[in-house]
A and B are shown apart, each in its own frame.
Chain A
Amino acid sequence: MEILIALSHGFAVALTPYNLMWATLGVTIGTAIGVLPGIGPALTVALLLPVTYSLEPTSAFIMFAGIYYGAMYGGSTTSILLNAPGESGSIVTAIDGHAMARQGRGAQALATAAIGSFIAGTLATVALTFVAPLMVKMALLFGPAEYFALMVLALTTVTAVLGSSLSRGLASLFFGLALGLVGIDLQTGQARLTFGIPELLDGIDTVVVAVGLFAIGETLFVASRHRYETEEIFALKGSKWMSREDWSRSWKPWLRGTLLGFPIGALPAGGSEIPTFLSYLVEKRLSKHPEEFGKGAIEAVAGPEAANNASAAGTLAPLLSLGLPTSATAAIMLAAFQQYGLQPGPTLFDTNPDLVWGMIASLYIGNFLLLLLNLPLVGIWVKLLVIPRPWLYAGILVFATLGAYTLNNNVIDLVVLWIIGVIGFGMRVLDVPVAPCVVGLILGPLAEQQFRRALAISQGDPMVFFTHPLSLALLVIAALLVIVPVVIRMTRGRREPEPVNSDLKT
């Protein structure tokens, strides 16, 4: 009841014409930028940050919610028509979605993705509405030791599930943690790794690193591969509508995908890779036509795409209620909160109910608007795919540098952007995942703060992390996540199969 009152208050905030305008603008440009090849949701959110600087926080986050969901919708269009998944969550969608596009069933693939995203997004937003306040209640029981353990768990899962090898994931994570050290130590005021450059005292901005890795690194990589790769775009033709059979084969995968996506996204173990892969496997097992999988089965688009969107909503639960980002996109959203001097967590629900509930309400609104934007207007978005590559990437770099420069209006940020971009190119070539770096950069300093707080309370006794049952449990789970796969790999011997996701971008 309490929750419904809060939510209806949120709708009152979000439905004012002024905020509704920002929500509409958010979903529209979120879709437009998300559709562009090479731009996933994380980069979309990072590139569109400057647009919100002049807004007051509530409107800014209402717009963000729209951008976030819009980028998810736009990303599925790119993966289906171009086989260019902008982030790891749409890799599975791309397999069968692109196969459908080859067979001239691109419109049906886009439709099942859009309707599935709408259903999953809406159900998952309902779940978020009720789960987030529960998590807030739980969070109030947490002390610094538990927070630290939770952050360790989040860092471990982001690292362990991504990429082709654990050491690559860890290299990315520790690089991010090292970048997080730069700047003034909050507790003692001492400068760390700043090399006497005053601009570095405030630390390295998460947004600069994310844009450097996702935009500059990626553009450099595409530039280096440009001559050796050809792209095919499949035009939409024939009937635009899903047949009766399409519907009957889609609706169950939508619901099952939602059921998989939200809980896994909401766990601090988060991420969208696991639920989308699980959804694919589940649908293949349950399908009457398992032989079609990989060759354009509509279930294999409907399920994973629903799972992807549901986990995107799920990710917001730990972000809003615990201040815990579990994906690169969530890390950038957290950076956006910090930009406004806000720290997501239990207190945010008390101090800024307008913002939190307005944002949640606008997720419902945004989802509805996106269904309208994506079903009838999909032809317009498809046109964005044919922008000539030289202009597309030139434009991406212009806006990437604009975003980095306008953060603090200084050229040092552009220097950092360049360095991170070149490193990002190297990571891309050597198949090192970049998401752990972004999450590590923003979580590292927060984890350090909780760690030191916990030890200050325990007067320096490090056992505090192991004597609190909750903290111990979280740390044990984190350790198992690292150890179990290694043990499995060793017992399986050397005939280990090539990992499915060895070419992840994020």
Chain B
Amino acid sequence: MTTGRGLKFGEAGLGAAVLALGAFIAYETLKSPGAANVVVGPRLFPYLIAAGLVIVGASLLREAFAGRIAHQQGLELDFGAVVLVSAGLVVQLLLLEALGWIPASTILFMVVARAFGSRRLVIDALLGLALTAAAFGLFNYGLDLNLPIGGVFDSLVAEPD
């Protein structure tokens, strides 16, 4: 649920985040060593970009307080679904190398489908399994890419080649 007020908060947050990123890059660059014997060292561009970020961030903050908002009528947002989808992605990347592409991505498929309101868990699972297995077959055997089999299964299954 987000109303106009929440969005205004987000707007100010955007300005602050841009500003902070600029300050952070300037600080990191300050810490890094410059280079001798070159006309323009590796630090000039980071400083320019940091300056740009700070100026744009400040101007966004000003706009946020001046009251120009992107969605005038407010915007309803279902944050539960957002958290579910992003959690699905985290689970997939954590399990990818241990369990392998097919199980990890099937879980992702099921979680995202659930976030979009699907309640047919078994069908989602079967469909996800079919899709990820097809991708695995196509990419590993047809296109010579290496999607992980999974550390757990490595000992059971022989190498693809």
Contacts and interface: CB of A to CB of B under 8 A. Distances in A.
Q: Do A and B bind each other?
A: yes
Interface of A: 50-51, 53-54, 164-165, 167-168, 170-171, 174-175, 177-178, 181, 185, 187-188, 190, 192-193, 216, 219-220, 223-228, 388-391, 393-395, 397-399, 401-402, 405-406, 409, 411, 414-415, 417-418, 421-422, 425-426, 429-432, 444, 448, 451-452, 455-456, 459-460, 498, 502
Given A167-B59, A226-B81, A397-B108, A421 B42 contact: no
Nearest to A188: B35
Q: A216, A394, A399, A425 — which one has the most chain B CB atoms within 10 A of its CB?
A: A394
A220 B75 CA distance: 14
A188 B46 CA distance: 14
A227 B90 CA distance: 23
B143 A50 contact: yes
Q: B68, B71, B82 — which one has the most chain A CB atoms within 10 A of its CB?
A: B82
A399 B135 contact: yes
Contact of A425 (B32, B82, B112, B115): B82
Contacts of A456: 38-40
Given A397-B108, A452-B39, A429 B77 contact: yes
A390 B118 contact: yes
A475 to B, nearest CB: 15
Given A227-B78, A430-B70, 13 more contacts: A51-B143, A174-B18, A178-B49, A190-B42, A226-B117, A394-B113, A398-B105, A398-B131, A402-B139, A429-B2, A429-B77, A430-B10, A452-B38
A171 B57 contact: yes
Interface string B117-143: 110000010011001100100010001
B112 A393 contact: yes
A209 B134 CA distance: 26
Contact of B108 (A398, A421, A452, A502): A398
A113 to B, nearest CB: 29
Given A54-B144, A178-B21, A460 B39 contact: yes
Contact of A429 (B10, B39, B42, B68): B10
B152 interface: no
B49 A181 contact: yes
Nearest to A224: B77
B88 interface: yes
Contacts of A227: 76, 78, 81, 117
A223 B22 CA distance: 31
Contact of A174 (B38, B49, B85, B115): B49
Interface string B44-72: 01100110110011011001000010111
Nearest to A456: B39
How many B residues touch the partner, as a band? 35 or more
B107 to A, nearest CB: 10
B89 interface: yes
Nearest to B94: A411
Contacts of B113: 390-391, 393-394
B149 interface: no
Contacts of A192: 28-29, 32, 42, 46
24 contacts: A50-B145, A178-B50, A181-B45, A224-B82, A226-B116, A389-B117, A390-B113, A394-B108, A394-B109, A394-B113, A395-B131, A397-B89, A398-B108, A398-B109, A402-B101, A402-B105, A402-B135, A405-B96, A425-B82, A429-B70, A451-B40, A452-B39, A452-B40, A460-B40
Contacts of A164: 70
Nearest to A191: B32
A188 B85 contact: no
Q: A53, A165, A220, A415 — which one has the most chain B CB atoms within 10 A of its CB?
A: A220
Contacts of A405: 96, 147
A223 B78 contact: yes
Nearest to A417: B89
A220 B116 CA distance: 10
